[in-house]
Structure 1
C-alpha cells in the first residue's frame, strides 16, 4: 500500500479518477486513486471501479478533502490473503481513505460512518463450480476475517473501508493410507521373527532365574532346620553323599534274667 500512496502524489487534481501505474513485478494487480471534497462526498457519494459508496457517508474524523485509494489484487489475492478451510473464488478488492487536505495523500487514515445505505463491492468475475454458493469475506488489518452471506448477485455489502472477496468452503481431502510395499512387508516379517526369538530367550532366562531362586530358598530352609535341630537334643552328625544327617549313639540294652520271687 505504501507504493500506491507514493504514486498518488503525481495526481493532485480533485474530483478525477486516476489509474495508477504499478511496477512490472505486480502484473495482474490494478489500482486507482480519487481525491474528493468531503462535502461533495457526503452529498453524492462515489461510484468507481467495483465500489459504490452511497450518499450520507461521513468521514471520521472530518477533513476538508479525502483521498480514496482502490486496489484489485487480481492473481496476487491468495498471496496476501488466505482463509482457513475456504477457497477464494474472486479477487480481493480493497479501498482505504486518507486525509487529503494539505497533500494528495496524507498519513492520517479516515474511517467511514454510514447513515443510510451500505457500501457495495461488486465482483464481476468469480470462479465457482456447480452447486457452490459463495460467501462474502472481510479481512481485518491484523490477519483476521469475517464471513457472511451475500445480499446480492456477486456483491458484498459493508459499512466501512477494508479488503473484501468471495469464498466457498474448501473440501478437506483425507490423507490416503500408504500401501505397504514388498520391501516394507519383508522388514515387518524380520522384525516379527526377531521379536519372537527375543521373547523365547527371555522366557528361558526367566525360567533359569526362577529355578535358581527356588534352589537358593530351599538351601536356606535346610540350613534353618539344621540350626533348629542343633538347639534341641544333641545328635551326632554324619554325611550321606552331599547331605549332612543327624545320628544318635546306639546303646544296646543289656540282657538280664528275671528271678522269680518264689523258687519252685
Structure 2
C-alpha cells in the first residue's frame, strides 16, 4: 500500500506538469534546402560528360557545362594516372597547385579530378552566418576514372603525403579595414575549419574538399527575437501581465501540495483500516478462548494455577495380561 501512495505522488506531479508543456513551432514551409552533397553528385555527372564527348586524353583539362539552374558556376575535369599524380603532381589546375606525393584511397589506376567554382552560388550552398565571402567557393574532388558514364560515384580519399595542396585565388573582394581575412575549408562530412591566409590570397590543405576566403562581419544588424511560442491555457483562463507567471507558479505549487496531501491521507486511512482489522481479530480470539471448557484450579504454594482433569481411561499395565 505504500507503493500505491508513492504512485499517487508521482501521478500528481506528472499531472501538474502537463499545462507547462509548450507547443513546438513548425519550420517554415517555404524554406528551400540546398544540399552541397547533392550538388557534388550533379557536377560530377556533368564533368564526366565533358570528357566522354571527346577522345579522352591524360593531363588535359576539360571544361563542362552546368545545368541552367546553376548558371554562374563552372565545372571541369582532369584525368591523370595515379602513378604520375603521385610522382609529379599537377600545377595550374585552375586555382589548384597539386604537389607530388598525392595518395588516393582506395587505389585506382586512373583518377579524375573534378573542379568546382560555385561563383554566386557560394553563399547559397555553403552558408557561414556572421561571415562574408571575399572569393567564390572552389572545390577539388577525386573519382575513379574507370567508367566515364557513371553517375553518383563515391569520392576517393585524396591526401597529400609531402607538401600541402595550394589554392591560389586570383581576385578577392575588398576586406574591411582592420579585419583579417580567413581561409575556410569545407570537408565532405559537413565540417568547417578556419585557417590563416598565406600571401594574402592563398589557402593550403592536405586533403580534398571546398575552399574559400571569408571575412568576419563587424556591423551586423541585430538578430530579431524569435516570436513567443504560445503556451497551453491553464485553469481560470490565460493570464496577462507580470502576474501571469506568479499565478501559474502558485497553481502548479498548489496542485503538487494537494497531490502530496491526498497521498498522505490515503496512507493514514490504510493504516487505520489495518489497525481496526487487527483489533477485530484479537477480539475474536478472546471470545473463542472464553467460550471453551474451563480448567480446574489448584493451589500450588501461594499461587493458584490451572491443572488438567484426571484421565477417564484407566491405564492398563503389561503384567495384567499375563495369566
- TM-score w.r.t. the length of structure 2 is 0.51
Query: Which structure has the highest strand share of the two?
Result: 1
1:58 is aligned to 103
Paired positions, count: 178
Structure 2, gaps ≥5 residues long: 1-39, 224-323
| Pairing 1:23–2:106 present | no
Hey, what's the Cα distance between the residues in 1 that align with 2:125 and 2:154? 23
**SS, match of residue 9 in structure 1:** helix
Within the alignment, does 1:5 sit opposite 2:44 as a pair?
A: yes
SS in 1 for 2:210: strand
Q: In the superposition, relative to structure 1, how do residues 150 and 175 fare at CA in structure 2: closer, same or farther (>3 Å)?
A: closer
C-alpha deviation, 1:18, in angstroms: 0.3
The corresponding residue for 1:149 is 196
CA drift of 1:23 comes to 2.4
Distance 1:108 1:169 in 2: 33
Greater mean deviation of Cα atoms: 152-161 or 14-23 = 14-23
2:166 alignment partner in structure 1? 120
Correspondence for 1:79 among 124, 147, 165: 124
User: Where in structure 1 do 4 or more consecutive aligned residues deviate above 4 Å?
Assistant: none
**What secondary structure does 1:11 align onto?**
helix
In 2, Cα distance between equivalents of 1:93 and 1:11: 20
Which structure: larger Rg?
1
Alpha carbons 2:97, 2:167 under 8 Å: kept: yes
Which 10-residue stretch deviates more, 71-80 or 17-26?
17-26
> Post-superposition shift, 1:59?
1.3
The CA distance in 2 between the partners of 1:174 and 1:108, in whole Å, is 41
Note the C-alpha offset of 1:25: 2.6
Output the CA distance in 2 between the equivalents of 1:145 and 1:124.
23
Q: When the two structures are superposed, what TM-score results if normalisation uses the length of structure 1?
A: 0.62
The structural deviation recorded for 1:85 is 2.0
Alignment RMSD: 2.4
Q: Equivalents in 1 of 2:179, 2:146: separation in Å?
A: 45
Q: Distance in 1 between matches of 2:221 and 2:77?
A: 46
Larger relative contact order (Cα-Cα within 8 Å, sequence gap ≥ 6): 2
Query: What whole-Å deviation, never above 9, does each CA across 1:84-111 have from its counterpart, x for those lacking one?
Result: 3222111001110011134466724211
